[in-house]
Amino acid sequence: MWSKKDLKYMRRALRLGEKGLGYTTPNPAVGAVVARQGMILGEGRHQKAGTPHAEVHALRAAGDAARGADIYVTLEPCNHTGRTPPCTHAILQAGIRRVVIGTLDPNPKVAGGGTEFLRDKGIKVETGCLRDECRLLIAPFTKHILTGMPWVRSKVACSLDGRTATRTGHSKWITNQQARRSGHCLREISDAILVGKGTIVADDPQLTCRKGKKAVKDPIRVVLDSGLSVDPSSRICCLKSSAPTVIIGVEGKSTDEHRQALEASGTKVWFTRPDGQGRVNIRDVLRMLGAFGVQSILVEGGATVHGTFWDHTFVDEAFFYYAPLVIGGKDARPAIGGSGAVDVGRAIKLSKMQHHKLGDNWLVRGLITDIDSFWS
Query: Any catalytic annotation for residue 251?
Result: no
Look at residue 24 in the predicted model and tell me its pLDDT.
Answer: 93
Cis upstream peptide for 26 (omega within 30°) = yes
**Distance, CA of 4 to CA of 73 (rounded, Å):** 16
- Catalytic residue of the set 43, 55, 133, 188: 55
Tell me if residue 250 falls in helix, strand or coil.
strand
Strands 333-334 and 163-165: antiparallel
| Element spanning 181, H or E | helix 177-189
Instruction: Give, in order, the Cα–Cα distances in Å from 310 to each of 27, 176, 303, 313.
Output: 28, 26, 10, 5
Q: Quick one: pLDDT at residue 215?
A: 59
Q: Which domains does the chain have, with CATH numbers?
A: 4-137 (3.40.140.10), 143-375 (3.40.430.10)
pTM of this prediction? 0.92
Q: Classify each residue of 257-268 as buried b or exposed e, where b means 16 or more C-beta atoms within 10 Å of its C-beta.
A: ebbebbeebebe
**CB count, 10 Å around CB of 64?**
8
Statement: residue 109 has pLDDT above 70: yes
125-134, 224-233, 235-244: range with highest mean pLDDT:
125-134
Exposed / middle / buried, residue 231 (Cβ in 10 Å: 0-12, 13-18, 19+): middle
Question: How far is the first Cα of the chain from the last one, in angstroms, to the nearest whole number?
Answer: 23
What does the pLDDT read at residue 229? 87
pLDDT at 298 over 80: yes
Percent residues over pLDDT 90 in the chain: 70
Residues 348-364 have pLDDT tens digits of 999 999 999 999 999 99
